[in-house]
């Protein structure tokens, strides 16, 4: 559906889209948002009103941390009544983490928050940044009879719109850098914007936006591999005093189940630790009861992460731990969806 004139806020956080090549060492360096808006002359033709704000300083997204997520969520919250939609320009490397984080930090979000960026800087002739930004503006300004066409946190990249907390960066080379293997795309952005309305979640109208500002980063990811040593696992679980561990397992949630290994996991869980089982596979889900190897993890108290991405698992755990929930509630929410991050 064609949109009315909308009031949009673009929040520039950094990333390749705003970089130029340093003539001396040839590395990519960040510039401010004036540089981006000057490079995209098409922005002048857009009928919507666009305001720019930025993080200070802007950063390569490798530097993104939980404080930045709280800052981004707070900016959306602070300007929520002034704007119809939000576009966050962000580096691609950690975009899926940030989109996942904001999907938890902003509760009852009924307006679009669209992340985008690019693989090539905006000043280059072959840049994908121009098309990505214009597509993101189109998405953020699209409405239907009831309000925004795509409320919630999304990632707009190349010619697709993805649900933010279902997305992962899978290519460092292709313009088509993101996929969401366990959730359908929300829109195909070709000649026409084709919205997949069945996949878009429309929240209840009577709830007000809430922003959270606590994340607990005291977690880690442990990726199992053939030959992983018992010393390493023992040290990992005993020395770091982590509150939760994302255990990246094989296939549908399998890992070696020798007694020493299960004992370490069991002991960590008995002392209050949380272990969330997430598959190393790009697509599919953890089903801990399917094989004897997964069942042993389940019996040790490991929680199955279903079809959650690692990015959503990291940010969901930080969010739930930051909320200070008791163990029972925390486990309940790991088994259930907060913002559509698991089926």
What are the residues binding ligand ASP (CB under 6 A)? 14-16, 60-62, 91-93, 117, 119
Beta carbon nearer to ligand ASP, 15 or 85: 15
Q: How far is the CB of 153 from ligand ASP (least distance, A)?
A: 18
Beta carbon nearer to ligand ASP, 13 or 279: 13
Q: Which DSSP symbol is given to 198?
A: G
Mutual angle of helices 66-78 and 95-105, in 10-degree steps = 50
CB-based closest residue to ligand ASP? 91
Q: How far is the CB of 115 from ligand ASP (least distance, A)?
A: 11
Report d(CA 83, CA 67) in Å as an integer.
23
Task: Give the active site residue among 13, 16, 92, 315.
Answer: 16
Report d(CA 15, CA 308) in Å as an integer.
25
**94 belongs to the catalytic site:** no
Q: How far is the CB of 62 from ligand ASP (least distance, A)?
A: 6
Q: Find out whether 265 and 275 touch, Cβ atoms under 8 Å.
A: yes
Q: How far is the CB of 43 from ligand ASP (least distance, A)?
A: 20
Q: Which DSSP symbol is given to 206?
A: T
Beta carbon nearer to ligand ASP, 123 or 251: 123
Beta carbon nearer to ligand ASP, 15 or 66: 15
Beta carbon nearer to ligand ASP, 61 or 154: 61
Q: How far is the CB of 55 from ligand ASP (least distance, A)?
A: 12
Residue 44 tokens read as: 């002048």
Q: Find out whether 53 and 9 touch, Cβ atoms under 8 Å.
A: yes
Tell the residue number behind the tokens 């209840």, with chain if given: 204
DSSP line for 19-57 = EEE-TTT--EEE--HHHHHHH-GGGGG--SEEEEEEEEE
In this structure, are strands 193-195 and 85-89 parallel, antiparallel, or unpaired?
A: unpaired
Active-site residues, by number, are 16
């Amino acid at each position: 559906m064609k949109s009315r004139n909308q009031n949009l806020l673009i929040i520039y956080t950094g990333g390749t889209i705003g970089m130029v090549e340093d003539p001396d060492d040839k590395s990519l360096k960040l510039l401010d948002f004036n540089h981006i808006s000057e490079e995209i002359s098409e922005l002048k033709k857009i009928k919507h009103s666009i305001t720019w704000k930025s993080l200070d300083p802007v950063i390569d997204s490798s530097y993104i941390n939980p404080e930045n997520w709280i800052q981004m969520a707070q900016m959306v919250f602070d300007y929520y009544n002034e704007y119809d939609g939000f576009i966050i320009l962000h580096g691609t490397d950690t975009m899926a983490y940030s989109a996942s984080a904001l999907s938890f930090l902003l509760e009852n979000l009924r307006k679009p928050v669209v992340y985008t960026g690019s693989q090539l800087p905006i000043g280059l002739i072959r840049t994908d940044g121009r098309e990505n930004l214009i597509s993101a503006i189109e998405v953020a300004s699209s409405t239907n009879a009831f309000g925004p066409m795509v409320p919630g946190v999304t990632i707009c990249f190349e010619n697709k719109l993805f649900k933010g907390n279902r997305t992962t960066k899978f290519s460092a080379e292709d313009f088509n850098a993101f996929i969401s293997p366990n959730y359908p795309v929300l829109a195909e952005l070709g000649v026409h914007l084709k919205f997949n309305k069945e996949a878009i979640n429309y929240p209840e109208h009577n709830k007000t936006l809430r922003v959270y500002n606590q994340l607990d980063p005291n977690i880690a990811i442990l990726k199992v591999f053939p030959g992983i040593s018992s010393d390493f696992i023992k040290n990992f679980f005993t020395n770091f005093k982590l509150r939760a561990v994302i255990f990246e397992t094989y296939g549908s949630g399998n890992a070696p189940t020798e007694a020493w290994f299960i004992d370490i996991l069991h002991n960590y869980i008995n002392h209050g630790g949380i272990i969330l089982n997430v598959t190393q596979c790009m697509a599919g889900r953890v089903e801990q009861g399917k094989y004897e190897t997964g069942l042993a993890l389940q019996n040790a108290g490991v929680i199955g992460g279903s079809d959650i991405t690692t990015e959503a698992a990291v940010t969901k755990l930080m969010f739930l731990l930051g909320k200070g929930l008791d163990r029972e509630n925390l486990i309940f929410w790991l088994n259930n969806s907060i913002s559509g991050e698991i089926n």
